[in-house]
Amino acid sequence: MKAIALFSGGLDSTLAMKLMIDQGIEILAVNINTGFGSTKDRLEHMQSMCDQVGAELRIIDIQSEYLQDVLFDPKHGYGKNFNPCIDCHAKMFAVAKRIMEGEGASFLISGEVMGQRPMSQNKDALQLVLNESNCDGLLLRPMSAKMLAPTIAEINGWVDREKLEGITGRSRERQMELAKEIGLEDFESPGGGCLLTDENFAKKMFDFIKHDKFEVRDILVMKYGRHLRLTDGAKLVVGRNKEENEHLQNIENDKYSHVKTVGVPGPHALLSKNATDADKELASKIILTYCKTSPQNSYSLAYDDFEVTSSPFASREDIQAFAIL
Ligand code: SF4
């Protein structure tokens, strides 16, 4: 008997898989990449969790499908920020079901705990998700199973319901107990959660879609740097530290020119390729304002195929009006 686990890398989904594996069920852990996960690379962590409980890990990239079907016109709307949680979950279950059929697996599991998160994990929202993805009865949530109606796997006796959990709410006490029992190590997931739930990230997204069509290649640009919208509509992204500068430097997206200061240390920046001359001048002044420069002097900046000479603003306060965040 084989099941597909919707695997986030977190403790709940790891424990859910372990509860199944202990009952002799083979588990394929599927991590669905929407593109908006934490900026930290969590692959190593996910692999370690799977290895510790004995599940196979597979990363499924749905970025393009996600932008097309879910993110910009969610049937059930957004949560507090840019997070279309109900539609997003329905998509994830639909993708998992597709994999289940392809793999000849018999049911799905997830680490969801009833009542843990107000928006996405309450009972009505979950039921809606299951109906919409045609997964009703197929999805077993081992962590809260005893609080839920029996699923196909339990009814058919593939899984012993008595050995499952009945956890509800936000307390992590039972999860910690289980982790200790099985000797799970390093289970705290590194990095933040989904960027779509972040208020500042949402501001950048709302700004972006006012000016441009959002594509998969734009996701990475949204993850790093200080974002500014210039007078004629160009987008400027300026690295805030060494790590962000490195990330921005490695971005290949022909909507943007790379900009670097010449002769003075400065941040790495990206500017819309179609920026007007006025926005190029403004971008240059802004970038120089983030360097150790003086408004009395002129400095050079190298764009992809030309150079600009400019001077910084007198103060960073002059830049505030352009800041998205
Ligand atoms: S928090 Fe993010 S990944 Fe999770 S359901 Fe909501 S939108 Fe999807």
Give the Å distance between the CA of 249 and the centre of ligand 1: 28
pTM of the model: 0.89
Report CA torsion sign: 244, 214, 43, 88: positive
- What's the Cα-to-Cα distance from 165 to each of 19, 144, 171, 189, 281, rounded to whole Å? 9, 5, 14, 22, 61
What's the farthest any 2 CA atoms get from each other in the chain? 79
209 in a structural domain:
yes
Give the Å distance between the CA of 97 and the centre of ligand 1: 18
pLDDT at 21: 98
- Assess contact for 61 and 33: CB atoms under 8 A: yes
Give the Å distance between the CA of 111 and the centre of ligand 1: 14
pLDDT at 120: 47
Output the residue whose Cα is nearest ligand 1's atom 1.
194
68 in a structural domain:
yes
Give the number of domains in the chain: 2
- Assess contact for 33 and 59: CB atoms under 8 A: yes
Same domain, 139 and 223: no
Q: What is the pLDDT of residues 231-283, one digit of tens each?
A: 999 999 999 999 999 999 999 999 999 999 999 999 999 999 999 999 999 99
Report the alpha-carbon angle 117-61-77, nearest 5. Answer: 40
Spatial separation of the C-alpha atoms in residues 31 and 258, rounded to whole Å? 33
Same domain, 18 and 107: yes
Same domain, 107 and 240: no
Atom number, ligand 1, closest to the C-alpha of residue 119: 6
pLDDT at 42: 85
For a ligand 1 pocket test, name from 34, 36, 83 the mutation site with the most ligand atoms within 8 angstroms of its C-beta: 83
Same domain, 124 and 202: no
**Which residues line ligand 1 at a C-beta cut-off of 6 Å?**
34, 83-85, 88-89, 120, 194, 196-197
Same domain, 132 and 80: yes
Atom number, ligand 1, closest to the C-alpha of residue 84: 7
pLDDT at 38: 72
192 in a structural domain:
no
Domain boundary among 153, 182, 211: 182
Spatial separation of the C-alpha atoms in residues 55 and 17, rounded to whole Å? 7
Same domain, 48 and 89: yes
Domain boundary among 140, 156, 182: 182
Per-residue pLDDT of the chain (325 residues; tens, 9 = 90+): 999 999 989 999 999 999 999 999 999 999 999 999 876 678 899 999 999 999 999 999 999 999 999 999 999 999 999 999 999 989 999 999 999 999 999 999 999 898 887 654 566 777 888 888 888 899 999 999 999 999 999 999 999 999 999 999 989 999 999 999 999 999 987 666 899 999 999 999 999 999 999 999 999 999 999 999 999 999 999 999 999 999 999 999 999 999 999 999 999 999 999 999 999 999 999 999 999 999 999 999 999 989 999 999 999 999 999 999 7
Domain boundary among 154, 182, 210: 182
Same domain, 97 and 241: no
188 in a structural domain:
no
278 in a structural domain:
yes
Domain that residue 80 falls in: 2-182
147 in a structural domain:
yes
Spatial separation of the C-alpha atoms in residues 112 and 121, rounded to whole Å? 7
110 in a structural domain:
yes
Same domain, 230 and 95: no
Same domain, 89 and 175: yes
pLDDT at 122: 64
Contacts of 111 (CB under 8 A, 6+ apart): 5, 6, 7, 8, 10, 11, 12, 13, 14, 15, 16, 17, 141, 142, 143
pLDDT at 189: 74
